Structure 1
Amino acid sequence: MNITARVSQAPMSGYQWLIVALCTFMNCLDGFDVMAVAFTGPSVTEEFGLSGSEFGLLVSVGLIGMAIGSMLLAPFADLIGRRPLILVSLVLGTIGMFGAAMAPSVTVMSLFRLVTGIGVGGILASTNVIASEFSNARNRGLAIGIYTAGYGIGATAASLVAKTVVGGDWRIVFYAGGIGTLLALIVIAAVLPESVAFLEQRRPGDALERINRTLARMRMEPVTGADLDRATDTGSGSGSAAERAGSGWLKQLLTPTILLWLTFITIMFGFYFVNSWTPTLLVEEGLSESAAVTAGMAISIGGTVGSVLYGVVARVRTPRVVLIGFSLLSAAMMIVFIVSTSTLWLGFAVGVVVGAPINGCIAGAYTVGPPLYPANVRSVGMGWALGMGRIGAILSPTVAGMLKDAGASATQLYIGAAVVVALCALVLVALRRHDPESRPVAAEEALAA
């Protein structure tokens, strides 16, 4: 039995949960980064004299960077390792956040937002895979749910910092993000191991020693070089049909890959619309800047709860089925939220509820994706899925800005975004026949292997 299969079947140790916690910490950077722009939007717009479209482009340039990072940097995680790519990405994120904080113009700020986005994209593509690879089958959904909750934690932290500087210097928010990213760089360099699935697959010179060191921390029996050779010879890999198919795996994965891309595009469209535009739209609907930040913070708090809730439900139901339910619930709650914000306490309460399912959808996409791919192309597969998902993330704030300039109301914009999120459910229905965790026969084959 190969190491990936052993990890999948064995109970999770405290060390494995520590790795999930480290990945969660890094995912906090994504939440802080995106919401730093959203919560400082009114102040940035005023200082640089931006229109709605120009602010939308400022938001989008960071998302473009994330797409570049996910699609162009992620393949290196399958070549040089998950850990080295994460360290490089954290360096880029640190430079970008401090650079945006010191930017003298919107052009310079946009450039550093692009650098930050590239770093965050590389981080997300690698940490998602590591969290999945170090989790067992039973707790994978929960682990990814906890990992995804990092976004909400980071976003909440951004909202708390932004709330303290309302009416003051908005640059403090970006300085705080730079310090957090630098701290993550130091911690990850000291603590995070390389993925055992990568070491098993690529077999660098010291692979056996590093694998056994990590397995010991996971309270698992060590392996020998002969064990690794036998696992390679049997072609068990990740146990997936695609990996056992040899050179035919790309053709087999084409359809599920396209469906996964559509899943990410539709979910990220709604997710980034809600998280990027909510404070600015609510201010223009008549709420004070402080109240709008409070409503945005409610969405972030709900997101933290919703990500973990998805993981809990996914322990007893098929992750893909749970994701269908979360996408439909998200669409419904987005509409309820925007029509209830005139009453602040009700808007805050519904904000928590709308944040929960939309963040749960991100957790679901992260959970459904990795099992579709063999270990040797898992980072590439997820990196490109995340990158394609950024198309929805990029279109969302940009289209919203254009429609807003054309006279669309906040209610109309929210309803349109809700329709896009609801389309995700249809895509997930089509993904059923390709999802290993939705096909009992595939599960039996994996157990037999």
Structure 2
Amino acid sequence: MDLRQKIETSPMGFHQWLIIGVVVLLNALDGYDVLAISFTSNAVTEEFALSGTVLGMVMSAALVGMAVGAFGLGNVADIMGRRWLTLISLVVNAAGLFLTATAQSAEELALWRFVTGLGVGGILVGTNVIASEYSSRRRRGLAISIYGAGFGIGGALGGSTMIYLIDAFGWRTVYVFGGIMTIIAIALVLWLLPESPSFLYQRRPPGAEAKLQKIARRLGHSEPVELDARPEQGSSSLAEKVKITKLLAADHRRASAVIWIGFFMVMFGYYFVSTWTPRLMSLSGLDDSLGLYVTVMLTVGGTVGCVIFGISTSRWSTRLVLTWFTVLAGVLMAVFVFTTQWTPLMLLAGTAVGFFAQGCIAGLYALTPQSYPVMLRATGVGAALGIGRIGAIVAPTAVGVMTDAGWTPTAIYMSVGGVMLIATAALLSMRHLNVEANRSPREDLEPVAPAPVT
């Protein structure tokens, strides 16, 4: 029995959905982490007397760490394994969160946020690939979209928790609580998250066959696992195969360009609304707590948007659904600021912005792993996430500069809405690109798209 083929063609069982549940929790840590600096922005601005530009740089510090982690650790997951990368990254993430709570200056705050981001970047690479490789062909779009919804779940539940923690105990407890949740996540990964079968087949670490047999039994498959007689690749050969420059080879160049443009623009837009909405709402004259609740509604809408995106891919192509989501996210982002005079309408509009913007991220999560062969998959995902984080880095800093230069919230939101529409143009250029052409003939058992990307 080839376990990859079984996973690809069989209905998803309880343990596969349990694995998806674990990676959803890990993605929720990202949602909590992003909102942590957003929700504590007013408190840290007051305590450390930060200008808008410096606050934007502090907000971007974790995003810089995420970009470095995603770029630098993607090929590590293709060499060491997705599970080990995830565990190491969780330890780094927990350390960064606890140390953030001890910061006594803006410089220390930025440093520990950077360390936190390193961990999150590695977590996202490992979990995105695991979600794809443990999903069946039929349910992959839905499974990865549910995984993407973890960000919104973490933001919505975590946001409500943060409001209470800040009011009752101060902003530092937000990071202590995040560190405790990360320690719990480490225990769950050790207990419940196995290594990727696709990685075990390709890399052949010691005991690979026994590990595959154990995973097969856990997934409900009793047949013996078969490994072909292909010699194990040497580490130098493997390292050569997973170089990041391979992403720009002729057979991957176009897919990489489209995915990178899409990630940059979508992350720019989403991280802008996630990090700056409380502050910009405050500058618009709204009560601070109302601005926080608007941000919570963004994440609630994002959670629903991810799931709806996944359901939609069972009927329409991933590219088509993603294109429409980028259009609507851009338009709604541009008009959202005009609703601030009517609280119910503002909350509804904020929910809609989160619905479509986070749905875009779920779509890119689904599109990226299927665009690369298995031994380049984590490297491809890492590079895409790294490019996305660069967009996320630029957004808070750029908006900080804009506020210091006198830009109004209205002008800022409309400008970012226009940025989102650049992702639409990139996706339209993908219309005739068949990502399946990027696979080598030896990989006919590897995961395919949940719907044709045409």
Q: TM-score, normalised by structure 1?
A: 0.91
Q: How does 1:45-444 map to 2 (within 5 A)?
A: 45-167=45-167, 169-225=170-226, 227-229=227-229, 250-436=249-435
Q: How far does residue 437 in structure 1 lie from its aligned partner after superposition?
A: 6.7
Q: 1:71 is aligned with what amino acid?
A: F
Q: How far does residue 196 in structure 1 lie from its aligned partner after superposition?
A: 0.4
Q: How far does residue 405 in structure 1 lie from its aligned partner after superposition?
A: 0.8
Identify unmatched segments of 5+ residues in structure 1. 234-241
Distance (Å, rounded) in 2 between the aligned partners of 1:215 and 1:270: 41
Q: How far does residue 354 in structure 1 lie from its aligned partner after superposition?
A: 1.0
Identify unmatched segments of 5+ residues in structure 2. 234-240, 449-454
Match of 1:239 in 2: none
Distance (Å, rounded) in 2 between the aligned partners of 1:341 and 1:377: 46
- SS of alignment partner, residue 229 of structure 1: coil
Q: 1:13 is aligned with what amino acid?
A: G
Confirm or deny: 8 A CA contact 2:70 2:122 kept in the other structure: yes
Distance (Å, rounded) in 1 between the aligned partners of 2:148 and 2:284: 30
Q: 1:144 is aligned with what amino acid?
A: I
Are residues 162 and 193 of structure 1, via their aligned partners in 2, closer, same or farther at CA, if it must alter by over 3 Å?
same
Distance (Å, rounded) in 1 between the aligned partners of 2:248 and 2:230: 21
Deviation larger for 415-424 or 152-161: 152-161
Q: How far does residue 3 in structure 1 lie from its aligned partner after superposition?
A: 3.7
Confirm or deny: 8 A CA contact 2:212 2:225 kept in the other structure: no
Q: How far does residue 229 in structure 1 lie from its aligned partner after superposition?
A: 3.3
- SS of alignment partner, residue 125 of structure 1: helix
Are residues 307 and 248 of structure 1, via their aligned partners in 2, closer, same or farther at CA, if it must alter by over 3 Å?
closer
Q: 1:219 is aligned with what amino acid?
A: G
Confirm or deny: 8 A CA contact 2:203 2:232 kept in the other structure: no
Confirm or deny: 8 A CA contact 1:2 1:228 kept in the other structure: no
Aligned residues with identical type, % of pairs: 39
Are residues 2 and 425 of structure 1, via their aligned partners in 2, closer, same or farther at CA, if it must alter by over 3 Å?
farther
Q: 1:202 is aligned with what amino acid?
A: R
Q: How far does residue 258 in structure 1 lie from its aligned partner after superposition?
A: 1.6
Q: 2:119 is aligned with what amino acid?
A: G
Distance (Å, rounded) in 2 between the aligned partners of 1:228 and 1:286: 66
Confirm or deny: 8 A CA contact 2:294 2:347 kept in the other structure: yes
Confirm or deny: 8 A CA contact 1:320 1:438 kept in the other structure: no
- SS of alignment partner, residue 136 of structure 1: coil
Confirm or deny: 8 A CA contact 2:82 2:126 kept in the other structure: yes
The Cα RMSD (Å) is 2.4
Question: Deviation per CA, 1:17-48, whole angstroms, max 9, x where unpaired?
Answer: 11110000000110000000001111111110
Are residues 385 and 291 of structure 1, via their aligned partners in 2, closer, same or farther at CA, if it must alter by over 3 Å?
same
Confirm or deny: 8 A CA contact 1:3 1:200 kept in the other structure: no
Distance (Å, rounded) in 1 between the aligned partners of 2:23 and 2:348: 29
Distance (Å, rounded) in 2 between the aligned partners of 1:17 and 1:142: 11
Instruction: Give the paired residue count.
Output: 432
Question: Deviation per CA, 1:227-272, whole angstroms, max 9, x where unpaired?
Answer: 4337999xxxxxxxx99xxx99932002211211111001101010
Distance (Å, rounded) in 1 between the aligned partners of 2:289 and 2:436: 45
Distance (Å, rounded) in 1 between the aligned partners of 2:180 and 2:4: 35
Match of 1:238 in 2: none
Distance (Å, rounded) in 2 between the aligned partners of 1:222 and 1:392: 47
Deviation larger for 65-74 or 156-165: 156-165
Q: 2:144 is aligned with what amino acid?
A: I
Q: How far does residue 377 in structure 1 lie from its aligned partner after superposition?
A: 1.1
Q: 1:321 is aligned with what amino acid?
A: L
Q: 2:202 is aligned with what amino acid?
A: Q
Distance (Å, rounded) in 2 between the aligned partners of 1:438 and 1:429: 18
